[in-house]
Structure 1
Amino acid sequence: MSPFSTTDVHGSHTPSARPRVDDRGILALGTLALALVAVFGQLDAVAKKYAGFLPLSPFELLLALLVGLSALLIALPAGRRPAMIDPLGGKLIALLICWIGVSFVFAEHHDLAFAYAIRAVAVMLLPFLIGMFLRDPTQLQPVLWGIMGAGIVTALIIIYETKTGARLFSTSAAAVEADFEGKIRSAGGSDLNPTSVAQMLMVAVLLAAGLLASGYKRFRLPMIALILLGTAAIVMTSARSAVIGLGIGGIIILFRFYRSRWFPLILLGGIALAATSLLFLPATTLARFQAVANFAEDRSLYRRITYLRIGWDLLQQSPIWGVGPGNFPSHYVEAEYRFLPGRTLNPRELHNTYLDAAVEYGLVGFALFMSVLGTAFFAAARAARRAVDPLLARMAHAIMAALVALYAASFFMPHKDFRYLWLMIGLAMACGAMQRFEARCAGEGP
């Protein structure tokens, strides 16, 4: 019998025990809600256009639903399968949430800190909620399908908007004001900035590539379409970090075949494909990469260096508990930094997730944040290497590749509260918990 069977994990039912409740309906509803979280994470502007009349955003409504269903699962005597919550990862996230509270107390601007902390803690619940509802590998699939399905829609919107110059759904300043050399940078169906959208699309493309490379047999044609359309759309956004992350994730996927006698040929083929694709890069994308060596062409590079200088200065001023969640932008516009090159008069976030965590949460918070990220990576890597269930191994490898790419891309963006980061952390930790449960069941078997 599979370790992920729906039978009682204790194997028997005693007369004195409370009657068990069939929890399959609750788990199915929670799985659907998580899949929709993955969809609306990329297509929030689409959701806003058609559901903007609601008092809360679809993400907030889904999160409230998931929390309520989790409370129901805990209260009812279901007990069919244990929650797949990584014990170490769960403790680290809980400690990080508590430390954010400490940083909040010492923040200078408590109103900003409170608003940011609420948003950050909300997305940090995702790993717990994923562990509550995704109890076996088959339940992981709808969430991955949600990410990849939304990726196809995002890619199509980006390609259309880039070619026509029109805006279909995006309305926020972050989404519509981004351009380069007079050409728009599409944010797809999102109100986030184009770079963040490109990174979410990068995750979707790498999940599809990782699953195909591992022999996953379902939805092959849509996944191939996603890889082709998604890669083209990422390039059209001129998002350098997403292109870099895509390359790193692709290398991880290629090295899945390192034991094959065909690996040298596969590696050379990958290098040749990457080199050939350079010939078809749009001029704006090439210009964005060339601008790295020429600050006169891309003055945002001055601003990025200024972020780092201000961040380092603030970290030295408050190394233990930081300046407080969400407080960097208010310090960024202070008069003492007014002469730094590239600084704007508008509050800006520190565009480096790791330094941002250190500056706003302090070194203790940074250590906890990095421990969470490391735990998630090793959980997915362990599951990809050790899982007996081939479906779990395949999905864990794809999730690991996408997660590492997102970690790399986060060097260039403020992603401490990024929904897709915590969604991928939750999926990675769930894979690790499932592999441990699988091993434990095998050890307890006859």
Structure 2
Amino acid sequence: MSPFSTTEIDAPAAPSARPRVDDRGILALGTLALTLVAIFGQLDAVAKKFIGFLPLSPFELLLALLVGLAALLIALPVKQRPVMVDPLGAKLIALLICWIGVCTVFAQYHALAFEYAIRAIAVMLLPFLVGIFLREPKLLQPVLWGIMGAGIVTALIIIYETKTGARLFSTSVAAVEADFEGNIRSAGGSDLNPTSVAQMLMVAVLLAAGLLASGYKRFRPVLIGLILIGSAAIVMTSARSAVIGLGIGGIIILFRFYRSRWFPLILLGGIALAAIGLLFVPATTLARFEAVANFAADRSLYRRITYLRIGWDLLQQSPIWGVGPGNFPSHYVEAEYRFLPGRTLNPRELHNTYLDAAVEYGLIGFALFMGVLGTAFLAVARAARRAVDPLLARMAHAIMAALVALYAGSFFMPHKDFRYLWLMIGLAMACGAMQRFEARRAGEGP
């Protein structure tokens, strides 16, 4: 019997206790809500088109529902099943949330800091909620399929918009004003910028590739289709960071087979497919990569260097608690930096998640942030390597590849409050907690 069987982990009711409520309905509703978070994370503009009249966004409504359901699980006398929250990861996130509060107090622009802190803390609740509701490996599947299903829709929209030059759902400035050499850069069904959308699609593609490579047998044609059209759509967005992350994730997946005698052939096959794929890369995408060596072709590269220079200067000015959550854009437009190359008159975020965390949260906040990221990676890597349950091992391997790729892509984007980053951290930590529970049930120690 699986170590995650309900009958094995239900705690016996005390003779004098009130009758315990079956928690399966609450957990199922929570799983559905998390699946919708995964879907609308990529398709927020689609949701806005149909339910934009509501006072709250789909994410805000779903987050409120999840928090309410979590409170019910705590308040009601439900059957107690172990919560799959990584203990160290949970402590680090809690400390980071508290430290963000400290940074908000010392921020120069308090209103901006408070607004950003609320948004950042909201998404940092996702790892706790994932662990509360997804308590068995099979419950991870709906969320993963939510990510991958939304990825298919995103890829199809990107391909259509790139070919036709039309915009189907995106309306925000970040989504519709992005272009390169006169060609639009589609943001799919999202109002986020095209690069962030490409990175979410990258996560979906790598989840599909990781599951397929690990022997996952359900809906294989769908997984293959997502890999093909998703990879093509990522290239069409001309998002360099997503292409790089896709390559890194692909290498991690390939090295799953390093002990196989067929590994040299598998590796050569992967290289051959990548080489063939280069023949079909659009000229605009190749131009984006070539521009790295020619700043005149892509002046946004000057701006990226300027982000780093301003960020480093601000970090030196306030190394302990930083400049405050969400305060970098306001410092970016200050007069003392007006002569730096590529700087615009519009507030811009620091396009490097790691330096951004150091600048806005200080070195203490940076250490806590990196601790959370490192804990999530170690948890999912351990689960991929040690899990006895085949389903858990397969999903952990896929999540690990997607998580590392997202970490790599975050070098080029301001993703401290990126929903998919914290959702993936939650899934990674849940995998690690499930593996530890599995080992504990088998008497192998913590």
TM interval, short-chain normalised: over 0.9
Give the structure 2 partner of residue 181 of structure 1. Answer: 181
Cα drift, residue 219 of structure 1: 1.3
Q: What is residue 95 of structure 2 aligned with on the other side?
A: 95
Task: Tell me how far 1:10 sits from its aligned partner.
Answer: 5.9
- Write out per-residue CA displacement over residues 155-189 of structure 1, whole angstroms, 9 at most, x where no aligned residue: 00000000000000000000000000000000000
Assess if the C-alpha contact under 8 Å between 2:323 and 2:359 holds in 1.
yes
Q: Distance in 2 between matches of 1:259 and 1:426?
A: 30
- Measured in 2, the distance between the counterparts of 1:230 and 1:127 equals 26
Structure 1 unaligned residues grouped into runs of 5+:
none
Give the CA deviation at 1:266.
0.2
Instruction: Supply the distance in 2 between the matched residues of 1:180 and 1:59 (Cα, whole angstroms).
Output: 31
| Structure 2 residue 348 is matched with structure 1 residue 348 | yes
Matches within 5 A, 1:157-236: 157-236=157-236
Deviations 1:375-396 (A, max 9, x none): 0000000000000000000000
> What is the one-letter code of the residue matched to 1:398?
A
1:443 counterpart SS class:
coil
Could you tell me which residue of structure 2 aligns to residue 310 of structure 1? 310
CA distance in 2: counterparts of 1:127 and 1:350, whole angstroms: 24
CA distance, structure 1, for counterparts of residue 260 and residue 178 of structure 2: 44
SS in 1 for 2:91: helix
| Map of 1:64 onto structure 2 | 64
C-alpha contact 1:6 1:80 (8 A) present in aligned 2: no
| Mapped contact 1:161–1:167 kept (Cα < 8 A) | yes
Instruction: Name the TM-score, length of structure 1 as normaliser.
Output: 0.99
* Matching of residues 25-424 of structure 1 within 5 Å: 25-424=25-424
Question: CA 1:230–1:336 in 2, change beyond 3 Å: closer, same or farther?
Answer: same
Paired letter, 2:428: A
SS at 1:162 equivalent: helix
User: Per the alignment, do residues 65 and 11 of structure 1 end up closer, same or farther by CA in structure 2, a change over 3 Å counting?
Assistant: closer
CA distance in 2, matches of 1:250, 1:8: 38
Letter in 1 for 2:351: H
Task: Check the 8 A contact 1:86/1:429 in 2, yes or no.
Answer: yes
Q: Indicate conservation of the 8 Å contact 2:387/2:393, yes or no.
A: yes
Letter in 1 for 2:164: T
Residue pair 2:11, 2:80 contacting (<8 A) in 1 also: no
Q: Is the 8 A contact 1:7 1:80 kept in 2?
A: no
Shift of 1:77: 1.7
State the AA in 2 paired with 1:405. Answer: A
* Equivalent pair of 1:8/1:79 in contact (CA under 8 Å): no
Tell me how far apart the structure 1 counterparts of residues 119 and 269 of structure 2 sit (CA, whole Å): 44
- What's the CA shift for 1:117? 0.3
Q: 1 CA distance for matches of 2:425 and 2:219?
A: 24
Q: Give distance in 1, aligned partners of 2:310 and 2:134.
A: 42
- Is 1:199–1:406's contact at 8 Å kept on the other side of the alignment? yes
Q: Which amino acid aligns with 1:300?
A: S
Deviations 1:39-81 (A, max 9, x none): 0000000000000011100110000000000000011121341
CA distance in 2, matches of 1:159, 1:444: 49
Q: CA deviation at 1:14?
A: 3.4
Do residues 17 (structure 1) and 17 (structure 2) align? yes
1:279, CA displacement in angstroms? Answer: 1.1
Taking the aligned partners of 1:423 and 1:352, their CA distance within structure 2 comes to 19
Q: By how many angstroms is 1:11 displaced?
A: 5.3
Shift of the alpha carbon at 1:3?
Answer: 1.5
Which amino acid in structure 2 is aligned with residue 215 of structure 1? G
1:150 counterpart letter in structure 2 = A
Question: In structure 1, how many angstroms separate the alpha carbons of the residues matched to 2:122 and 2:430?
Answer: 18
In 1, Cα distance between equivalents of 2:302 and 2:13: 67
Shift of residue 209, structure 1, vs aligned partner: 0.1
* Count of aligned residue pairs for this structure pair: 445
CA distance in 1, matches of 2:355, 2:2: 44
Residues 351 and 412, structure 2, Cα contact 8 Å, conserved in 1: yes
CA–CA separation in structure 2 for the residues paired with 1:278 and 1:149: 26
User: What is the CA–CA distance in structure 1 between the aligned matches of 2:11 and 2:178, rounded to whole Å?
Assistant: 58
Query: Aligned AA for 1:134?
Result: L
- Any idea what the Cα deviations from partners look like across 1:122-179, whole Å, max 9, x if unmatched? 0000000000000000000000000000000000000000000000000000000000
1:439 maps to 2:433: no
Displacement after TM superposition at 1:8 (Å)? 5.8
Q: Does the 8 A contact of 2:10 with 2:81 survive in 1?
A: no
Q: What 5-or-longer segments of structure 2 have no aligned partner?
A: none
Q: Tell me, what secondary structure is at the counterpart of 1:434?
A: helix
Deviation track 1:4-26 (CA, whole Å, cap 9, x = no partner) reads 11126365333123322100000
The whole-number CA distance in structure 2 between the counterparts of 1:332 and 1:57 is: 29
Residues 15-24 or 340-349, more deviating: 15-24
- Counterpart CA distance in 2 for 1:258 and 1:367 is 33
State whether residues 20 and 79 of structure 2, in contact with CA within 8 Å, keep that contact through their aligned partners in structure 1. Answer: yes
TM-score of the superposed pair, with normalisation by structure 2: 0.99
Structure 1 segments, 4+ long, off by >3 Å, are 10-14
